[in-house]
Structures are given as structure tokens and as C-alpha cells.
């Protein structure tokens, strides 16, 4: 008996289909492997990168025990006594006896103006005075003679030797000369006053220093016209030179109305000049001007130096830190010094980056003073903490850091 045909066909081995199945398995495995490798690559690329930074230890500021900064401001060195010296009269400059940087004393001659015409008038006044005095002497002599004649006429009338008319004539002559003498005495006084006026006019052609100081600018040269008022279409000078009293130097500061309550007379101040950023100058508040500027919303404060120094010059730019002495037993937060390069501005606030367990931590800080390449902080960090000295671009909070060796 012959078996069914379809049963024998079922016993055949389909090798081509098995090979195709195996090929598809290998392709799926390879695809999965590629996907895993791609995901790993992406994860590796997105891993937190280690940023190399230079660090520095925050340190306490020396010499700040018992005091703290309550306000920082800036201003300019000004002179309380400063004058552009001019003349009282209009005239041509003949001689200028000063130069910039020269020290002058009060009353010292600075310049001379042309006095030819004034001296001619002075000589005329002197001659008129001499003439008036000579006429006065003549009238006195004639009055003396008239008085003697009046006396003799009186005696002759009493002896009935001369008529009464002779006595009356002598009396009238004496009174007339007395009146003339009084008038000439007044004329002599007028001549003396006129002479004094022209002497003062001559003195006004000599320009003197009003106080002791240093010449900071020379504004006129010989041959130029000078006048106490502006005239001549800009060709007439109004001053010979500018003198500054170096003993009256102080710092003038405009303090915002919002912070003026932190300032009081006699308050200690520490100033630094932009020209000498490492030089800290002890000062104190002299006065608070009792008015505000409505346009700038500021109040002017005068700060005086405890001790003047030749390095301090007028119009220098200065930064000041208003100090507040701490009371007995009061806790004072020590100021912290960090590099100026460690400071950044983010969202309108000052921040520094602190290294914590190998990662970057952003800290908001309060800046009280910047001197040169160092910044003084009153809050935000503590002494001994590691600070990123130079902040690299792209530094974020939590970034992994690697400290470079100095």
C-alpha cells in the first residue's frame, strides 16, 4: 500500500527558509547593538564636562575689627579756597610774574598792568595838591596881616586918630580872608582825596595774591587785555591765574537720598584715590549740606582728610567707604577679601563661584569696597572657602571642577 504523497512532502527540509530566518536574526541583533552604541555615545557626549579653574582662598580683611562699611560712594577732591585772580580795572597786561606750580604768599605780586595814564593823572593830582597848599599858606599870611591891621585900626579909632570907616574896612578884609582860608582848606582836602584816589588807581594796576597757595593755571600773557567783566568779544581775559589753597583740600561726594541716613557728621571714612589705588587715606565727614538736588536726588557731603599729603591734588577722582564703629560687645562680621576677577554680575547681583566637593556653587555676595585688584565683601562667603579666581565662560551651577596647580 502506497503512503499519501502529501505526507512525504512534509518530511522535506526547507534549508532556504531557515537561512533567511537566521539572517533576519543577525540583522536585528546588529541593529540593537548599533542602537546601544549610539545611546552610549550620546550619553558620553552629554556627560558633565570637567572644567579646569584656578582657585584662591577667601581671606579676612586686616584691620577692620570694630568697624564695618555702611556705604560706598565716589567723588572728587576739591579745594575749599580756590580763586581765579583778576584785576579791579580794565587794562593791558604788562608783566606776569607767576607760572603753573609756583607757590605764592598772600599779598605777593602776580602781575602788573599798564599804568602810564594812571600815573600821569596821579602826578597831576599831586601838582594840584601842592598848588592848593601854597594858596592856603598865602591866604594864611594875608589873614594874619589883615588881623594886625584890624587891631591897629581899632586902636586908632579909639584914639580918634582914624575914622570909623577905616576900622570897618579892616574888619571886612579880615573876615573875607578868613572865609577864603576856610574854602582853601576844603580845597586842600579835596585835592588830598583826589590824590588818594589816583594812588589807589595805580595800586589797582598791581595784581596781588589774595591768599597763600599754589598756582594751578596761568590764564593771561603780557600784551593781552584784562577786565573784571567779560568784554571785547572774547578777546579780553577775565583772570590772570588760578590759585588753590592746598590746605583746604577735601572730598566732595553726592550721596543718594536713599542712603543719606547712613551718613553723619564726624563719621570715619576711608578714601582711596584712583591714582593710588593701594593707598588708604583716613578721613572723616566734615558736614552734610542741608539741601538736596531734586534733579539728581542726591545730597552733597563734605569729607575732610585727617592729614594732607602732597600726592593729593585738586579734581582727583576718589572712592570713599563710610565706616560705622561697632559698639562694645557687638558682633562684627569680618570683611572678606577676594580677587576682583572672581566677581561677576548676574541678574543684577554680584556673585562669586565657590568650590564645594569638586563642584561649582554660585553665591550672591555684598560688595563693600574695591581697591585695585582686590574686592572686599561684607556678606556671602566665609574666610577659608575656595573661590574661582578667574571665571571661565559657560560655568554653571553644579559643574564639575578641576583645580589647576598655581
CATH of 51-64+334-403, one of 3.40.50.720, 2.40.420.20, 3.30.300.130, 4.10.80.400: 2.40.420.20
CATH of 68-80+246-325, one of 1.10.3430.10, 2.40.30.170, 3.20.20.70, 3.40.50.10610: 2.40.30.170
CA distance 289 to 253: 10
Secondary structure of the chain in HEC code, one letter for each residue: CCCCHHHHHHCCCCHHHHHHHHHHHHHHHHHHHHHHHHHHHHHHHCCCCEEEECEEECEECCCCCCEEEEEEEEEEEEECCEEEECCCCCEEEEEECCCCCCEECCCCEEEEECCHHHHHHHHHHHHHHHHHHHHHHHHHHHHHHHHHHHHHHHHHHHCCCCCHHHHHHHHHHHHHHHHHHHHHHHHHHHHHHHHHHHHHHHHHCEEECCCCEEEEEECCCCCCEECCCCCCCCCEECCCEEEECHHHEEEEEEEEHHHHHHCCCCCEEEEEECCEEEEEEEEEEEEEEEEEECCCCEEEEEEEECCCCCCCCCCCEEEEEEEEECCCCCCCCCCEEEEHHHCEEECCEEEEEEEECCEEEEEECEEEEEECCEEEEEECCCCCCEEECCCCCCCCCCCEEEECCC
**pLDDT recorded at residue 333:** 57
CA distance 47 to 328: 54
**pLDDT recorded at residue 140:** 86
Q: Dump pLDDT digits (tens) for 46-57.
A: 555 677 777 888
Among 374, 380, 397, smallest CA distance to 56 is for 374
**pLDDT recorded at residue 398:** 77
Q: What is the pLDDT along the chain (406 residues), one digit of tens a residue?
A: 455 555 545 545 555 555 555 666 677 777 777 777 776 666 555 555 677 777 888 887 654 444 677 888 999 999 999 999 998 888 999 999 999 999 999 999 999 999 999 999 999 999 999 988 888 888 888 888 888 887 887 878 787 777 888 778 878 888 888 888 888 888 889 999 999 999 999 999 999 999 999 999 998 999 998 888 765 555 678 889 999 999 999 999 999 888 898 899 999 999 999 999 889 999 999 999 999 998 988 999 999 999 999 999 999 999 999 987 544 344 445 678 888 888 888 877 888 888 887 787 888 888 877 777 778 787 778 877 888 888 887 777 777 777 776 5
Does this model's pTM top 0.75? My answer is no
CATH 2.40.50.100 matches 82-114+206-244: yes
CA distance 180 to 146: 13
Q: What would the grid cell of residue 86 be? A: 583778576
Is 236 in contact with 226 (CB distance < 8 Å)? yes
CA distance 356 to 360: 6
Chain centre distance of CA 124: 52
Amino acid at each position: 500500500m502506497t503512503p499519501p504523497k502529501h505526507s512525504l512532502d512534509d518530511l522535506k527540509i526547507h534549508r532556504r527558509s531557515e537561512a533567511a530566518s537566521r539572517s533576519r536574526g543577525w540583522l536585528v541583533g546588529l541593529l540593537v547593538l548599533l542602537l546601544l552604541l549610539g545611546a552610549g555615545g550620546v550619553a558620553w557626549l552629554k556627560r558633565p564636562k570637567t572644567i579646569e579653574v584656578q582657585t584662591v582662598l577667601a581671606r579676612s580683611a586686616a584691620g577692620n575689627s570694630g568697624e564695618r562699611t555702611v556705604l560706598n560712594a565716589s567723588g572728587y577732591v576739591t579745594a575749599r579756597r580756590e580763586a581765579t585772580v583778576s584785576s579791579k580795572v580794565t587794562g593791558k597786561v604788562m608783566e606776569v610774574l607767576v607760572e603753573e606750580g609756583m607757590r605764592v604768599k598772600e599779598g605777593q605780586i602776580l602781575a602788573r598792568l599798564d599804568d602810564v595814564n594812571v600815573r600821569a593823572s596821579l602826578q597831576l593830582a599831586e601838582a594840584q595838591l601842592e598848588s592848593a597848599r601854597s594858596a592856603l599858606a598865602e591866604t594864611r599870611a594875608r589873614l594874619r596881616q589883615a588881623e594886625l591891621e584890624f587891631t591897629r585900626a581899632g586902636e586908632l579909632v579909639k584914639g580918634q586918630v582914624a575914622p570909623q570907616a577905616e576900622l570897618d574896612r579892616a574888619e571886612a578884609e579880615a573876615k573875607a580872608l578868613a572865609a577864603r582860608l576856610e574854602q582853601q582848606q576844603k580845597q586842600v582836602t579835596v585835592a588830598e582825596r583826589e590824590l588818594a584816589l589816583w594812588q589807589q588807581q595805580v595800586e589797582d594796576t598791581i595784581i596781588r595774591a589774595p591768599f597763600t597757595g599754589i598756582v594751578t593755571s596761568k590764564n593771561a600773557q603780557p600784551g593781552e587785555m584784562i577786565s573784571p567783566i567779560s568784554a571785547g568779544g572774547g578777546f579780553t581775559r577775565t583772570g590772570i591765574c588760578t590759585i588753590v589753597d592746598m590746605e583746604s583740600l577735601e572730598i566732595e561726594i553726592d550721596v543718594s537720598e536713599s542712603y543719606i541716613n547712613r551718613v553723619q557728621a564726624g563719621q570715619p571714612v576711608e578714601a582711596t584715590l584712583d591714582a593710588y589705588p593701594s593707598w588708604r587715606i583716613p578721613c572723616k565727614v566734615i558736614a552734610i549740606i542741608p539741601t538736596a538736588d531734586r534733579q539728581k536726588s542726591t545730597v552733597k557731603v563734605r569729607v575732610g582728610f585727617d592729614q594732607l599729603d602732597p600726592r593729593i591734588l585738586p579734581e582727583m577722582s576718589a572712592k570713599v567707604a563710610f565706616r560705622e564703629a561697632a559698639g562694645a560687645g557687638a558682633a562684627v562680621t569680618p570683611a572678606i577679601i577676594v580677587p576682583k576677577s572672581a566677581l561677576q554680575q548676574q541678574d543684577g547681583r554680584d556673585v562669586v563661584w565657590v568650590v564645594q566637593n569638586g563642584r561649582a556653587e554660585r553665591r550672591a555676595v555684598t560688595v563693600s569696597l574695591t581697591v585695585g585688584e582686590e574686592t572686599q565683601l561684607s556678606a556671602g562667603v566665609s574666610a577659608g572657602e575656595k573661590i574661582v579666581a578667574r571665571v571661565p565662560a559657560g560655568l554653571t551651577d553644579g559643574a564639575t571642577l578641576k583645580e589647576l596647580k598655581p
